[in-house]
Structure 1
Amino acid sequence: MSTRSTLARLAVCAATACALVSTTAPAGATGPGGGELRVFAEEPGHLMPGNVDQSESLIVDSVLYSGLVRYDPKTLQPVNVQAESITPSADQKVWTVKLKKGLTFHNGEPVDADAYIRAWNYTAYGPNQQANNDFFHSIQGYPDLQQGKAKSLSGLKKTDRRTFTVTLSEPYSGFRTMLGYIGFHPLAKACLADVKACDEKPIGNGPYRMESWEHNKVIRTVRFDGYKGPKGKSKRITFKLMDNVSDGYAAFERGELDVIRKLLPGDKLRDARQKHADGLIEVPMASLQRIAFPTYDARFKDKRVRQALSMAVDRKALVDDLYQGAHVPAQGFVSPVFPGARNSCGYCVYDPERARKLLAEAGGWQGGKLELWTNSGADHQVWMAALGEQLKKNLGIDYVVKADLPYSQYVDKIHTNSMTGMFRSGWNSDYPSMENFLNPLYGKNGSTAVTGWTDPRFDELVAQGNRAANQDEAIAFYQKAEDLVAEDMPAMPVWYVKGSTLHSSKVSGVVVNPVGGEPILADVTPAATTRKK
């Protein structure tokens, strides 16, 4: 039920995992459980859980912090980690969270009910300007924290040292599913005493603790032996910070990196398929690349115009020609890795003849040269231009790609309803639920509902799904809501993102979780090594 407004959520830069584990280990490392895992990453923005909304920060925090639940990479279901139990009331409105015994932060502080309550209150308090602020909008008292009338959520109550209750404003059967997202992780008391220092050197509660962060160079972490869960398989995880994944791939080829955890560009993927076929894993992710229509613009008001533009796009050609088939042409609005996903989008079928008919029925294109917007600096203009050529060929509409705005300005333009053409607006899921692909993007108050399209029937169907007894029963309501979107086409799905994971034959246990698309680094086992004499 998230309505988060973040920059990262709009940009499916296709953050995925490419896992390779060190073939060598530092002196003194012996056998499984020793060694160093060297991981490609770009410079993170923040490491405080409440302010983390980009893949480069998430991958680092994935070893520094642990949450109430994690997502099983096979079933995608939430599995208790720090929670002993998470129990809803009969009406799904009050949730009781009980923590396991003996949990501690890296500085020795207890991970108790206070640790979660303080973290959630800090992130939910509007003046703190945390990126994950509105993940807490469903908890009672949230509006008061945005207006500065209160500093704590009235819906959070401590029962005892290891137990607290969460009262929601509206029932939501999927609340437990949300809790694996990093925005719900705990904070040490010492962190709130010095937030800036904690962002620089986090006091986590995960399987690894921070040693140092040399900005734009390296982040070093070491296994935390006081962790109550499964121990990390390598002694150290070191994040080598580079400018882009192409540099990372070159470093791997030189033997300087063990893990590349991001989608390889087309030519690098082709090279990896040829050189490292035995270690290349390509898996679907819970991510969608899409183009949104500014329905507040008169030229895009008629749904037949939007339908025609979508049917004039050959998604398979884009994926095959530009990405060597690395992605999957989209046929719906929800990632197929999630329960309930279907081929719901009839207007995603490539049919130029029908597209021309629909456009003619709508009175033709009256907008002059069609503007195709994306942000600068990420090479999205390449595939946007290829898409524009298809529209020109199939509908006779001339186009221009607008890719001159840096990311932050681009997002500001989107959120102020200032777009003057079709615009790229991808989506990375936060938690495994159909709702997360629908309400934030198309709901009346959705954080990334940036098309101007609304439908009270959609909002009611999502609300009915949220009130369902369980997530299985909710799917039928979410599917009906998706059908409304599929008919009106406020946005056109282009492809489902597929992650490319590359790993060495000298490691085991390399698993990429479709939720977030990152490798589970703590579970990667390096090859056995021997002490240097």
Structure 2
Amino acid sequence: MRGTTRTVAVAAMSAVALLAAGCGSGDSDDTETTAAGQTGGEITVRGCNPENPLVPSNTTETCGGTVIDAVFAKLVHYEPETAAPKNDIAESIETTDNQTFTVKLKKGYKFHDGTEVKAKNFVDTWNYAAFGPNAQASGYFMEPIEGFADLQCAGTANPDDPCEGFTPPAKEMSGLKIVDDHTFTITTTEKVSNLPVRLGYSAFAPLPDAFFADPVAFGDKPIGSGPFKLDSWTKEQNMVLSKFADYSGEFGAKLDKITYKIYQDADSAYNDVIANNLDVTDEIPASALIDDKYKSDLPDRNAQKEEGVIQTVTFAPVKVDPNYADPKIRQAISMAIDRETIIKQIFNGTRVPATGWVSPVVDGYKADQCGEYCVYDAAKAKALLDEAGGFKGDKITLAYNADAAHKEWTEATCNSIKQALGVECVATGVVDFATLRSEIGDRKMKGMFRTGWQMDYPSIENFLTPIYKTGASSNDGDYSNPTFDKLLVDAAAATDPAQANQTYQEAEALLAADMPAVPLWYGKATVGWSDRVTGVKITAFGTIDYSSLALK
């Protein structure tokens, strides 16, 4: 989901195979507390400003995504520790050819407004997400469904608004059919062997009839079908969730209430946890990582785990900033970044230098896909920049959101680039995550900017298709390579897991030649909590598992 952000998966695996796959190479030390805790009560956790109103199909970032995952149930639920998929609203998802899927729903599953979740809710929601004029950021995830193309906008004179003066020929995808109240079918244009695995992503969450009556108002007070419902959202301050009394799923929670307190920086949240004024923070500031200071600050109140997350730096689209158009310039910048030193000095070893664009926790990961371009070499970097004719702009810029712990590492990254290339590099803070994402999405952000990816669903494909395929929802740099796109299609259709992995790896290798984004490091989630709570678990996605959280 999520541009920042699940282990053991491969695109061609079936959901059954994934259930048996087990955990990846994540660090299993200190990933949870041991006491079961009591039932009921309320806690506070660190929150941040969502980019958009809370509509699942229009949320592709973690600030909003974390709340949406608590509020909205999906067909499939991912097990916290392994990310293995397990049916949730779905009674079953069956296929004989990986192209036509029959979905049967559990009866009696309720939305927070008391209405029942039915097949119509899924079909209507997915059609709404896919319909071009609705401009849903995650609408792209519906692309495999037959008839998706007929809902898209094209052919206008305004490249920034392809829907201007244009009405798509259809409003409903031909590949979705309602069989009865609790059954519908999905037909895809091509074979998609991992479709059941994808259906646990929030973009596929069903919406109640109330959404379609007023989509704008709905985003501020969403009605989901998950274990928690949103009671209030005070912008810039907090979001309050309470347990949904009529929740009938298998993945409920112990707590009665969760309040997300919105912070403008990681240090403030961290200090509040130390003082027991905040119960959980999912981010430890760089200052507390040095020499493992957080372990002494929060003895027996911290945990760390490898996660399906990668940190990257993306270049603005060429039409926005042509100074970075030459791949050699982008490759030179990548070679000029001393990842190991930054990780040691800023993160105290709590990151792993990236050698490609896919997280190591995913089955099918191949090391060194980036090759020499992800290895620090100041001399080669400078020579490559000179070969490209030098940098034509006044200075290299790297934007980051200032409401989280990014200042130190972005400044260190810029210093490394400046020293190696002899070009001024400036790290610039943007007030908060929502503002940064808005400027990137509106194609107003020049230079380089901080990006990251927390996997949406457990598949190697998820680290490639949504970010780098032409026109993809999280393709912030507007990267486009027809050969890359074709390899993704071929891999998705493969029925042999090994062949699918190999084809995805071939696609990933092309990114080294084009360098649309610079891989920096793979993530380890580090969290801290107050002495009031227990049962803290870090999921394979690097998030907090709210179902296990409890008061002591």
Return the alpha-carbon distance in structure 1 between the equivalents of residues 396 and 77 of structure 2: 41
Residues 288-319 of structure 1 show CA distances to partners (whole Å, capped at 9, x for unaligned) of 22223468477656544433332222102122
Letter in structure 1 aligned against 2:122: Y
Q: Which residue of 1 aligns with 2:360?
A: 336
Secondary structure at the aligned position of 1:59 is classed as: helix
Q: 1:31 to 1:475 in 2, by over 3 A?
A: closer
Is 1:97 matched up with 2:103? yes
Instruction: Give the partner amino acid of 2:549.
Output: V
Tell me if the contact between 1:290 and 1:491 (Cα under 8 Å) persists in the aligned partners: yes
Is 1:108 equivalent to 2:114 in the alignment? yes
Contact 1:225 1:231 in 2 (8 A): no
TM-score under structure 2 length normalisation: 0.81
Contact 2:144 2:190 in 1 (8 A): yes
Q: 1:211 touches 1:222 (CA, 8 Å); kept in 2? A: no
Q: 2-side partners of 1:464 and 1:253: how far apart?
A: 50
Give the one of 389, 395, 399 matched to 1:374: 399
- The yes-or-no answer on 1:61 pairing with 2:68 is yes
Which residue number corresponds to residue 15 of structure 1?
none
Show the counterpart of 1:134: 140
Question: Match for 2:306 among 256, 266, 284?
Answer: 284
Secondary structure of the residue aligned to 2:101 is: strand
Change (3 A) 1:394 1:331: same
Aligned to 1:47: 54
Aligned residue pair count:
504
Cα deviation for residue 349 of structure 1 reads 1.5
Q: In the TM superposition, what are the counterparts of 1:253-332 in structure 2 within 5 Å?
A: 253-261=274-282, 263-270=283-290, 271-293=293-315, 296=318, 300=324, 303-332=327-356
1:149 aligns with 2:149: no
| Cα deviation digits, residues 412-464 of structure 1 (max 9, x gap) | 77568777644433333322222222223332333344546543332222111
CA contact (8 A) 1:465 1:473 kept: yes
Inter-CA distance 508–331: structure 2 relative to 1 (3 Å threshold): same
- Give secondary structure in 2 for the equivalent of 1:372: strand
Q: Give the stretch that moved more between structures: 427-436 or 44-53.
A: 44-53
Q: Mean alpha-carbon deviation: is it higher for 492-501 or for 46-55? A: 46-55
Range with greater deviation from structure 2 (328-337 or 495-504): 495-504
Q: Distance in 1 between matches of 2:486 and 2:146?
A: 20
In 2, the alpha carbon distance for the partners of 1:433 and 1:521 equals 23
Which residue of the other structure, out of 467, 484, 489, is the alignment partner of 1:458?
Answer: 484
Aligned to 1:520: 545
Partner Cα separation in structure 2 for residue 243 and residue 410 of structure 1 = 13
Alignment of 1:213-252 (within 5 A): 213-215=233-235, 216-252=237-273
Contact 1:293 1:491 in 2 (8 A): yes
Aligned to 1:172: 192
Partner of 1:200: 220
Q: Residue type of the partner of 2:57?
A: G
Q: Secondary structure at the match of 2:547?
A: helix
In structure 2, what is the equivalent of residue 467 of structure 1? 493
8 A Cα contact 1:20 1:503, kept in partner: no
Asked whether the 8 Å contact 1:51–1:131 carries over to 2, the reply is yes
**Distance in 2 between the 1:109 and 1:366 partners?**
59
Quickly say closer, same or farther: Cα 1:522–1:420, change in 2 above 3 A: closer
Distance in 1 separating the partners of 2:473 and 2:210: 31
What CA distance in whole angstroms lies between the structure 1 residues aligned with 2:317 and 2:113?
52
In structure 2, do the counterparts of structure 1 residues 217 and 478 end up closer, same or farther at CA, with 3 Å as the change threshold?
closer
- What amino acid is aligned across from residue 356 of structure 2 in structure 1? G
Give the TM-score normalised by structure 1: 0.83
Q: CA RMSD of the aligned region, Å?
A: 3.3
Q: Which residue type is aligned with residue 57 of structure 1?
A: G
1:375-411 Cα deviation digits (max 9, x unpaired): 5645746433322322332233333445579877866
Which sections of structure 2, spanning at least 5 residues, go unmatched?
A: 6-29, 153-166
Structure 1, unaligned stretches of length 5 or more? 13-17, 24-29, 528-533
Shift in Å at residue 37 of structure 1?
A: 2.9
Match of 2:82 in 1: 75
Does the 8 Å CA contact 1:174/1:471 hold for their aligned counterparts? no
SS of corresponding position for 2:259: strand
Q: Contact 1:212/1:221 (CA < 8 Å) preserved in 2?
A: no
Match of 1:123, as an amino acid?
Answer: A
Residue 125 (structure 2) pairs with residue 119 (structure 1): yes
1:479 Cα offset (Å) = 0.7
Of 503-512 and 120-129, the range deviating more from structure 2: 503-512
1:350 corresponding residue in structure 2: 376
The 5 Å alignment of 1:400-479 reads 400-401=426-427, 421-451=447-477, 453-469=479-495, 471=497, 473-479=499-505
Counterpart secondary structure, 1:287: strand
Instruction: Report if aligned partners of 2:385, 2:391 keep a CA contact under 8 Å in 1.
Output: no
Change (3 A) 1:127 1:487: closer
Residue in 2 that maps onto 1:492: 518
Tell whether the 8 Å contact from 1:102 to 1:228 is kept in structure 2 after alignment: no
Q: CA-to-partner distance for each residue in 1:164-187, whole Å, 9 max, x for gaps?
A: 111122222121221111111112
The residue that corresponds to 2:201 in the other structure is 181
Change (3 A) 1:188 1:448: closer
Letter in 1 for 2:311: Q
**Does the CA-based 8 Å contact 1:103-1:111 persist in structure 2?**
yes
Q: Which amino acid aligns with 2:550?
A: T
State how far apart, in whole Å, the 2-side matches of 1:397 and 1:247 are: 34
Q: State the identity as a percent.
A: 35
Relative distance call for 1:194 and 1:487 in structure 2 (3 A) is: closer
SS in 1 for 2:355: coil
